[in-house]
Structure 1
């Protein structure tokens, strides 16, 4: 009987589970061999980083560009913030002037001597100016303040007195008994005439 042997493997392939043993290292025989081995290894390592300087230069340039862009952005943001601050300050100044003018008009003739618009504003606290430039409820707020703090309010004007009317003669001597002469026996004619003109004989003459 003939036995057939079939090759089922692949040339150079070890059966599964077979451990491959690397070839044993042999020390260089001469210094020249050692130098050659070292130079070959250095050449391989240098080849791995042949473009390192180029990559490094590109990375440095990219960092510089990003830094420049960031600097420009910071400058733009700072300029924007400064502009917004100036606009806010201008608006606040304009509002303060508007409020003072409105309060001055609203309290004209209503406050005690020495009370200024700034005093009233101090008691009113924060006032808000609308987009239309109005101060909502300012008049009502001031009236309520003056009622609550009477010392800020001006005194009520004195009631006018009724005029004194007279009848008859306009000479005050004729409307009073003061200085009336009841006896003319000791008076000279000129004295009598003067007393008569002054109305001091009215009570005597009836």
Structure 2
């Protein structure tokens, strides 16, 4: 065996983060002490936050006071315009969505769905709730079926002839039907007379 080198670091007590060294608190007082020490460390991190927040608010107030009335008016106009623009485009998106769903469901005029539903735009997390719009259009189609096209019906077909019956020629070529045969007969009778 080799001799330990005196310059090598000597093992110490296990670190508190070592899972083998962790020991559950034995009493409520021990747990309270542990939690309180952790809270104190966190409070120390954010010690000057309230003071910093107050300074930032004061700075914003001073910057606001420095602005001329025209700068304030410009900022207010920009905020108003951006809100109006967002509302305008939300309305356009909602109307396009309603028209698309209405066309898919077979409305005679998809714009009718938009007119009947009105301008109330359902929102979800500051976005247009397209699922809710779709539900509203589907409900409108059920409540007012006269706005929707009737489902297309299959065209009537001619009955098939029974076995042994003479089948009519339905190829659609000129001169092959009963009327054409009757005209040929009439022409032949006139020529012979």
Q: TM-score range by the shorter chain?
A: 0.3 to 0.5
State TM-score, norm by structure 2.
0.43
**Structure with greater Cα Rg:** 1
Taking structure 1 as the reference length, the TM-score comes to: 0.41
Normalized per residue, the structure richer in helix is 2
